[in-house]
């Protein structure tokens, strides 16, 4: 298991998503943990907010994602979906009129396959909808292996923080 800096993990996630956008699920928690589960591999990321515009993080690639997928219980694809003008108007109307409980619009949107990022710059799009992205109370709690992985990622993130920001890190010693 190779722990990488955030930028490398995000690059791998984006490359994997762009090659095969269908079959991805994204789950995060309020503690800075992210699971990006792809069709072939997944990524566990640990983030630390440095300031409102900057985060520091580390990640690891996970080969066997089926146990995670089953534990989380997600049965839909996350990603970027292009909406035509009519569907985007219907969605905005449903939200503004507080009719978002009308699941027909949500079902229509979820039936649209996610697309690679480079397809999102088309001029004929009414809107682009990202998601759905789930939030979990604490991703460390989903399994013993995730709790152990979190400890390793936390230690690596702490080392990275101390190396990149030695003066800030010195405050906490």
Backbone angles phi, psi at 3, to 5 degrees: -90, 130
Nearest to 24 by CA among 13, 10, 38: 38
Tell me the percentage of the chain whose pLDDT exceeds 70.
96
pLDDT tens per residue across span 33-79:
999 999 999 999 999 999 899 999 999 999 988 888 888 887 889 99
Beta bridge partners of 131: 79
pTM (2 decimals)? 0.87
């Amino acid at each position: 298991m190779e722990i990488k800096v955030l930028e490398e993990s995000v690059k791998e996630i984006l490359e994997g998503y762009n090659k095969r956008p269908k079959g991805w699920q994204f789950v995060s928690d309020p503690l800075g943990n992210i699971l990006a589960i792809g069709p072939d591999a997944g990524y566990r990321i640990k983030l630390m907010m440095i300031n409102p515009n900057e985060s520091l993080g580390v990640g690891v690639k996970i080969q066997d994602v089926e146990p995670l997928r089953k534990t989380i219980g997600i049965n839909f694809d996350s990603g970027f979906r292009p909406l035509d003008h009519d569907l985007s108007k219907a969605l905005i109307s449903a939200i503004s009129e507080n009719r978002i409980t009308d699941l027909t619009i949500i079902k229509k949107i979820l039936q649209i396959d996610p697309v690679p990022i480079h397809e999102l710059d088309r001029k004929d799009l009414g809107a682009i909808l990202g998601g759905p992205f789930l939030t979990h109370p604490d991703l460390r709690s989903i399994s013993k292996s995730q709790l152990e992985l979190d400890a390793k990622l936390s230690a690596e993130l702490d080392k990275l923080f101390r190396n990149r920001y030695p003066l800030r890190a010195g405050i906490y010693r």
